[in-house]
Structure 1
Amino acid sequence: MYVVIEGIDTAGKSTQLDLLQKKYSDAIFTKEPGGTQIGVKLRAMALNGEAKSGIAEMFLFLADRAEHIEEVVISNEDKMVISDRSMVSGIAYASIFELEKMIELNLLATNNVLPTHAILLELSAEELTYRLSQKENDAIELRGIEYLMNIQNRMKETIIKLGINHLFVDASLKIEEIEIEIEDFLNGK
């Protein structure tokens, strides 16, 4: 099982991943970008703005993804792999590029390996506005509510276009309610 937890910043991914780690102690927990040795370097290069071109930055993330699929997902096919983000986020955040082109490039990078389960924690614009007001915002969050809502919509569209078995969860629910929904989804209920 290759499970990915997706959502824009402040949606509650970290909280749900912590809960999953307690339940699935035998699972492999990873993240994108940066879930491999090479990935840590590529992530740092991308996030530090070393690539001056948007296309070069996108290829750094694709290189990280290719390595991650090979090293973490495929080499642990016999185990449950749970990832904080995946190609879904990669496609969504590369919003300056056409969706179909990004899907094509990501399928190439992943050798057509897709998550078996995608969980998207969704926020309304009102809830996102409130959550962002409660913290200091990073560079991506400072791009604004409309930008982040477009990314969230692009995540949904990507999951649907790829035909990934998915659960879209209202991230404004209580933590325990979200936890139960995720547990039921992973157990096929």
Structure 2
Amino acid sequence: MSITTRGRFIVFEGIDASGKSTQVNRLAEMVSAAGRKVHITAEPTTGPIGSLIRQAFSGRTPLDDRVIAALFVADRIDHLTNERDGILELLGRGIDVISDRYYLSSVAYHSSDIDMNWVVRANELSTDLLLPDLTIYLDVAPAVALRRLQSRAQQTDKFEVFERLSAAHNNYERAIELLGTRDNIQVISADGTLEEIAVEVQAVVNRSAGDVFQQAISTV
């Protein structure tokens, strides 16, 4: 009988251009420097379902918004359960997983087209399998996010317009009010510098997630 410490599952949420990807990488560097194994991931995934979602976002494969919402549910379940690099498999091996988006993104972005209660219920297929140990929501004003997006020399997707960003921001606030107590969601302002935000992230991780991962799971 060997003892394996369960990995930590930490999720970053926020509207586009909130700085999630940067902070995911910075936290991963900190975790790795502490001597822990860490895996970075994101949604939609790079798997077959995630690739179809990305094609829909770019306009190459036109899909109804309800279809896209359902595809996210399927992509998320595969993200959790696939045998190659599924989150549950990695956590069971003691690897920390840091994800750029999880189910709250679906609640925030799809509730403008579909009833929020439906989106929450559909994603219970995932949350019944795994809730994050900590979710960090990077809060940035939609107007600020839009300016950041417009400064990038790249094509934007269907959600990267002010109306969509504003709706998603409002839906994030509604979702956090609804689910924040159950799901250990911590809100950090994303208006500061990258360094200031990183310091806040580290403080939140140390304060909110420190004791959760001391538990050990037994494996044969």
TM bucket normalised to smaller: 0.7 to 0.9
Give how far 1:53 is off.
3.0
Is the 2:15–2:145 contact (alpha carbons within 8 Å) kept by the matching residues of 1?
no
C-alpha distance in 2 between matches for 1:122 and 1:22: 22
Say which one has the larger Rg: 2
Pick which of 6-15 and 66-75 moved more: 66-75
- Measure the CA separation in 2 of the matches of 1:27 and 1:159: 26
CA RMSD of aligned residues (A): 2.1
Shift of 1:141: 4.9
Matched, 1:117 2:134: yes
- Aligned twin of 1:3: 10
Match for residue 78 of structure 2 among 67, 79, 90: 67
Deviation for aligned residue 1:80: 2.0
Q: Encode CA deviations 1:6-35: one digit per residue, 9 max, x unaligned.
A: 11111111111121121122122111111x
Gaps of 5+ in 2: 1-7, 209-220
Moved over 4 A (4+): none
What CA distance in whole angstroms lies between the structure 1 residues aligned with 2:159 and 2:66?
21
Cα 1:48–1:117, aligned 2, differ >3 Å: closer, same or farther? same
Q: Partner of 2:212 in structure 1?
A: none
Q: How far off its partner does 1:147 sit?
A: 2.0
Equivalent residue number for residue 52 of structure 2: 45
Partner residue of 2:188?
Answer: 169
Hey, what's the Cα distance between the residues in 1 that align with 2:62 and 2:88?
Answer: 29
Instruction: Return the alpha-carbon distance in structure 2 between the equivalents of residues 9 and 129 of structure 1.
Output: 8
- Partner Cα distance (2:118, 2:184) in 1: 22
| 1:160 equivalenced with 2:177 (yes/no) | yes
**Does the CA-based 8 Å contact 1:46-1:61 persist in structure 2?**
yes
Letter aligned with residue 9 of structure 2 = Y
Change (3 A) 1:103 1:133: same
Structure 1 unaligned residues grouped into runs of 5+: none
Cα displacement (A) at 1:51: 6.1
Q: Which moved further from structure 2: 104-113 or 90-99?
A: 104-113
Percent identity between the aligned chains?
28
Paired residues of 1:66 and 1:110 also in contact (CA < 8 A): no
CA distance in 2, matches of 1:63, 1:149: 26
